[in-house]
A and B are shown apart, each in its own frame.
Chain A
Amino acid sequence: MPNEKNIKNVVLDTLWRDNPIFRQILGICSALAVTNLVLNTMVMGAAVMFTTALSSLTVSLLRRWTPRVVRMMIETLIIAFYVILFDQTLRAYWPDMSRSLGPYVGLIITNCIIMGRAEAFANSNKPGLSLIDGLLSGLGYAVVLLAVAVIRELFGMGTILGIPMPFFSSNLWDRWIIMVMPPGAFFTLAIIVWIFRTLQFSKQIEAKGTGK
């Protein structure tokens, strides 16, 4: 298989070299929307991991029978199927979280990361590798989201996972309300993208310098 990569490359690409958030800037709509609480972000991250992994697996399993002319419709159908499954599970077994995430779970269907992995990877790779690629792409998304959420909840509310943090929950810290509002997400995400890209760039310079 010419497009197959080994697992090490998949791990490096999805989590670092081609991280969906700070490298490809994909799926940031939900990254901005749900990151004012760490718990919500964790569940959202789990939802994206679940959907990306299983939709990549399904797309890969069906790739030999899927006609190219309708492949994107098929991919959207498969993604929607897993998102609805997750959403319905939340409604039934974790209603508080379902109410808290509101429409954002449903909007995972439009998350470019999932369609991106189906098109760029699962369509031309074996099911096992596609499952790992999908799972780790979701993880790459979730980790960056979590970093944004920790900063926003801590500075904006003085808590992490609802637990009051020393200093930040005391009278010494004046809550930065803007951090839990949409602009706070833009500032935080931009700073995180800047930091990660600077780190990546300095690694590349180092690699060039050592001739690797």
Chain B
Amino acid sequence: MRLRNQTWYPILYMFVLTLILSTILIVFGIFTHQRVEDNTRIAFERAVIEVLPIDLPDNISTNQVHQLYTQLIREPDSSSGTALRCIQADSFIAYALPIQGAGFWATIKGVIGIARDQKTVTGISFYEQNETPGLGGEIVNDAFRGQFVGKQLATGTVPLDIRMTTVPVDENSVHAITGATQTSMRLEEFLNAELTAWQQIITGKGK
């Protein structure tokens, strides 16, 4: 009891408790760090594999994703700009361009697949987003992503147009998500910025 009456006791008590709890958290962080890193990497690899024009088994496992990624994907080179290259049986089949930009609530990260003609979209996938579930969060669903497959990238500042559902779409456009105007607009903005920059690089007009 005498110890508790000392003026320095609260400071010492705080210090010791903070030290104990922080140590436990640091140890737990070290223990789970690799797993967290792996989860982030696997999410990216899965997004890349999903946008390629290849047949994937249903419910593909994490190991299969990693195996496929290692087999098919090559780092970007001068001919692919910032896009990863997909090579199957020694022949080039598609580009996988990582994209990211501000969403409604937080950064959206994804990958768009583009065929070797540099125009036809082979798929789009998102591996990080915090959009409103049920609204903007629908960008991860097949119904929205499926619209992109087969679309043609236009040249200019708007390679892909995201239109309201009341307006008909053409070969360069898809429909937005009803009730998620902000997410759709922001996605369109950064997607087109990334695509335009990539087109400029591969056509030699950019740096």
Residues of A within 8 A of B (CB): 36-37, 40, 62, 65-67, 69-70, 73-74, 77-78, 81, 84-85, 88-89, 91-93, 95, 99-100, 102-103, 153, 156-157, 177, 180-181
Q: What are 21 inter-chain pairs, A to B, with CB distance below 8 A?
A: A36-B132, A36-B134, A37-B133, A67-B9, A70-B10, A74-B13, A74-B14, A77-B18, A85-B24, A88-B28, A91-B36, A92-B39, A93-B35, A95-B36, A99-B129, A100-B133, A102-B106, A103-B130, A180-B132, A180-B134, A180-B135
Docked complex Cα distance between A29 and B14 (Å) = 29
Least distance between B153 CB and chain A CB atoms (Å): 29
- Chain B residues lying within 8 Å of A84, measured Cβ to Cβ, are 25
A78 lies within 8 A of B21 (CB): yes
- Chain A residues lying within 8 Å of B132, measured Cβ to Cβ, are 36, 180-181
Contact of B21 among A81, A92, A102 (CB under 8 A): A81
Interface assignment of B17: CB less than 8 Å from any CB of chain A:
yes
Interface string of B134-155 (1 = CB under 8 A from A): 1101000000000000000000
Least distance between B131 CB and chain A CB atoms (Å): 10
Interface string of B42-86 (1 = CB under 8 A from A): 010000000000000000000000000000000000000000000
Residues of B within 8 A of A (CB): 4, 9-10, 13-14, 17-18, 21, 24-25, 28-29, 32, 35-36, 39-40, 43, 105-106, 128-130, 132-135, 137, 178-179
- Chain B residues lying within 8 Å of A81, measured Cβ to Cβ, are 21, 24-25
A89 lies within 8 A of B32 (CB): yes
- Chain A residues lying within 8 Å of B128, measured Cβ to Cβ, are 99
- Chain B residues lying within 8 Å of A156, measured Cβ to Cβ, are 134
Least distance between A148 CB and chain B CB atoms (Å): 14
A77 lies within 8 A of B13 (CB): no
Most buried by A among B9, B39, B132, B133: B133
Closest 3 CB pairs of A and B: A180-B134, A92-B32, A95-B39
- Chain A residues lying within 8 Å of B17, measured Cβ to Cβ, are 62, 74, 77
- Chain B residues lying within 8 Å of A103, measured Cβ to Cβ, are 130
Docked complex Cα distance between A84 and B39 (Å) = 18
Q: Which residue of B lies closest to A159 (CB)?
A: B134
Least distance between B185 CB and chain A CB atoms (Å): 16
Least distance between A181 CB and chain B CB atoms (Å): 7
Known A-B contacts A77-B18, A100-B133; the reply to A69 vs B28 at CB < 8 A is no
Contact of A95 among B43, B129, B130, B134 (CB under 8 A): B43
Least distance between A175 CB and chain B CB atoms (Å): 8
Q: Which residue of A lies closest to B32 (CB)?
A: A92
Least distance between B59 CB and chain A CB atoms (Å): 14
Least distance between A30 CB and chain B CB atoms (Å): 14
Least distance between B7 CB and chain A CB atoms (Å): 10
Docked complex Cα distance between A100 and B18 (Å) = 30
Q: Which residue of B lies closest to A37 (CB)?
A: B133
Docked complex Cα distance between A88 and B10 (Å) = 29
Docked complex Cα distance between A40 and B184 (Å) = 23
B135 lies within 8 A of A181 (CB): yes
B4 lies within 8 A of A67 (CB): yes
Docked complex Cα distance between A81 and B130 (Å) = 24
B32 lies within 8 A of A36 (CB): no
A67 lies within 8 A of B25 (CB): no
B35 lies within 8 A of A102 (CB): no
Docked complex Cα distance between A99 and B105 (Å) = 12
Least distance between A198 CB and chain B CB atoms (Å): 30
A91 lies within 8 A of B134 (CB): no
Least distance between B74 CB and chain A CB atoms (Å): 26
B21 lies within 8 A of A88 (CB): no
Least distance between A35 CB and chain B CB atoms (Å): 10
- Chain A residues lying within 8 Å of B40, measured Cβ to Cβ, are 95
A36 lies within 8 A of B10 (CB): no
- Chain A residues lying within 8 Å of B105, measured Cβ to Cβ, are 102
- Chain A residues lying within 8 Å of B29, measured Cβ to Cβ, are 88
